[in-house]
Amino acid sequence: MHEADSFVPLTWADMLHLAPELSLSGLFIMIVLLDLVLPKRVNRIWIGGWLTLGSLLISLGFVIWQLLDRNSGGNAAAESIQLFANSYRIDDFGSLLKIVFLAGASLIVLLAIGSTKDDDAITDRAEYFYLLLPAVVGAMAMASSGNLISLYIGLELLSITSYILVGMRKKSSKSAEAAFKYLVTGGISSAFILFGMSYLYGVTGSVDLGQIGAAIPGAIADFKALLYVGFLFILAGFGLKIATAPFHAWAPDVYQGAPTPVAAFLAVVSKGAALAAVFRIMYNTAFFAATDLDAYISKDVFFAMLVLAAAGMLTGTTAALRQKQVKRLLALSGVANAGYLLVPIGLSITVVHSSNFAEFIYYLIAYLFMTVGAFAVLTAVNRTASEGEMKDFAGMYYRAPWTAAAMVVLLLSLAGLPISGGFFGKLFILIGAANAKAYWLVAIMVASSVISYYFYFGFIRQMFMRSGGEEEEIRVPAATGIAIWVCVAATLALGLFPGIVMEWIDGAFSLQVDLLVK
C-alpha cells in the first residue's frame, strides 16, 4: 500500500455505506448511557433486551437495503465498494453473512429475554444483552475486511466481548471456569492467527489481501517454507475459533458453563464469523499460491482444510454418542457441523465445482435456525429442570406437546433428514464434494450423518417414549416461543424451497466482485 493511499477521507456517502455498523455502534453507546442514568427500579430486561433487539433489527434493515440496492435490476456484478483504502469492503459476500449474523443475534436476544429472569446467577441483566452488539459489530467487520489488520481488529472485538459474555453468570463457578478456559484458548487462537499473518506480511510486504495474493506466486521460490508456516498457523488459529477437531476440547466445557443464549451465540455467530474470515483469507491468498511449476502450497492448504473438516465430522459425532449433558452434546454437534461447513471452503474452485459459497451460506443459514431453535427449546426445559441433561426431556410430549413437535423438526434437520433445511444443506455440500471427486469426503459425510442419528433420536426417545413422572408442565415464555417457531418455520421453508434460496444466492453472489480483493 502506497503512503499516499494510507489516509483516505471518509465522505458522507461512505458513512451511508457503513450505516449497519455505525447504527449498531451508536445504539450500543446509547443503551449503555441509559443503563447508567436510569434508576435501578427500571426493568433492565426492557432496557437491555428490547432495545438491543431493536438495534439489531435496524442494522439488519440497513444491510438488506444495501443488498437489494446492489442487486436491483439483476445487477449481480455491481462493483464492490472499497472504504479506508480497501481495508473495508461492501459487497454481497459480506452482506449475506451480515444478514446471517444479525438474524442469529436477534433470535438469541429473543430467547435470552424469555430465559434471563429465571437465572439468578446473572446480576447485570442489561449488560448481558447489550454486550452482544459490539460482538456482532466484530463479526460484521470480519466478513467485510479487505486486509489483515481490519480483520484482526474485528476478530478481537468479537473475542473480547465473548469472553465477558461467557462469564456473565457471576454467581456460578462453572461460568467463571468457562470464561477462564475460553479466555486462554481464545488468546492462544489469536496468537496463532497473528503469528501466521506476520509470516504472510513478511513474505509479501503487504497486509492487503489482494496484494498478498498477487505477490505470493513470485515469493514461492524463495519463501516456500515460510508460506507453509504462515498458512498452517492461520488454519490452526481459526480451527480453535470454530472448534473443529483436533482443536475442539474447549467447546463442551465453555458451552456448559456459559449462559445458554451465549452458548448459542458462540455456536452460530462466532463460528460463522471465523468461517467467513477463513473463506475470505484463503480464497484471496492460498488459492493463488501456485506457479506453472509448483502448485503444492495451494493444494496442501486446501487439503489441510478438508482434513480438519473430516476430523471435525468424525470426532464430533462419535464423541457425542455417550454424552448426556445437552449443552455439551450441542457443542459436539457444533464440532461436527463446523466440519460440514469447512467442506465447501476446502474443496476450492474447479471447473466442475464453483458453487462453494452458495453451498456454504445455505448450510450456514440452516445451521443457524436449527441450532438456535434447539438452544431455545433447552432454555424452556431448563425452567423446570436445571440439570440440563437429556433425561430432562422425558415425557416432554405430554408436558408441552407443541414444543416437543418443534424440537422434532429441529432434530430432523440437525440429523439431515428430509424434508428440512439441514437435509438439503448437507445434500448440496455432498454433491459438491462428489463433483470435485472427493469421494473419501463423501463417505465420511455419510458415515458421520448416520452416526449422528443415534444421539439426535435419543431426544425423540426421551420426549415420546419416556414418562415425565410427576414433572410439571413446561411453560414457554412468549419471547422464547417466538424464537422457537421462527426457527422451525425457517427450517421447514429451507427444506420445502431449497432451489429458490440457492438460485437467489447464486444470483446475488459473484466470485470476482464479491469475494476476491483487487
HEC secondary structure over 153-165? HHHHHHHHHHHHH
Q: How many CB atoms lie within 10 A of CB 52?
A: 28
Q: Are 120 and 171 in contact (CB under 8 A)?
A: yes
d(CA 454, CA 46): 41
Q: What is the pLDDT at residue 77?
A: 53
Q: Are 514 and 378 in contact (CB under 8 A)?
A: no
d(CA 442, CA 15): 45
Q: Mapping DSSP to helix (H, G, I), strand (E, B) and coil, where does residue 15 land?
A: helix
Q: Is residue 6 part of a domain?
A: no
Residues ≥6 apart with Cβ < 8 Å to 404? 396, 397, 463, 464
Q: Which three cell numbers stand for residue 144?
A: 467485510
Q: What is the pLDDT at residue 1?
A: 44
Q: Is residue 56 part of a domain?
A: yes
Q: What is the pLDDT at residue 2?
A: 44
Q: Is residue 442 part of a domain?
A: yes
Domain boundaries, position 470: 13-515
Q: Is residue 412 part of a domain?
A: yes
Q: Is residue 3 part of a domain?
A: no
Q: Is residue 5 part of a domain?
A: no
Residues ≥6 apart with Cβ < 8 Å to 150? 84, 87, 88, 141
Q: Is residue 4 part of a domain?
A: no
Residue 386's φ and ψ, nearest 5 degrees, are -90, -5
Q: What is the pLDDT at residue 190?
A: 95
Q: Is residue 468 part of a domain?
A: yes
The residues of the chain scoring below 70 in pLDDT are 1-9, 73-77, 351-352, 384-387, 468-471
Q: What is the pTM of this model?
A: 0.94
Q: What is the pLDDT at residue 477?
A: 87
Total number of domains constituting the chain: 1
Q: What is the pLDDT at residue 381?
A: 87
Q: What is the pLDDT at residue 73?
A: 62
